[in-house]
Amino acid sequence: QTVVTQEPSFSVSPGGTVTITCGLSSGSVTTTYYPSWYQQTPGQAPRTLIYSTIIRSSGVPDRFSGSILGNKAALTITGAQADDECDYYCVLYMGTGTWVFGGGTKLTVL
**Does residue number 48 form part of the binding site for other proteins (CB under 8 A)?**
yes
From residue 103, how far is each of 5, 92, 106 by CA, in Å? 6, 12, 10
Tell me the closest approach of the beta carbon of residue 46 to other proteins, in angstroms: 6
Report the residue from 52, 71, 81, 108 that binds other proteins according to the rule CB under 8 A.
52
Q: Is 10 in the site for other proteins (CB under 8 A)?
A: no
> Which residue, 36 or 65, is less far from other proteins as judged by CB?
36
Interface with other proteins includes 67 (CB under 8 A)?
A: no
Where would I find the beta strands (DSSP E) of the chain? Answer: 4-5, 9-12, 17-24, 36-40, 47-51, 55-56, 64-69, 72-78, 87-93, 99-101, 105-109
Residues lying near other proteins in the complex (CB under 8 A) are found at 1, 34, 36, 38, 40, 45-48, 51-52, 55, 57, 87, 89, 91, 93, 96-104
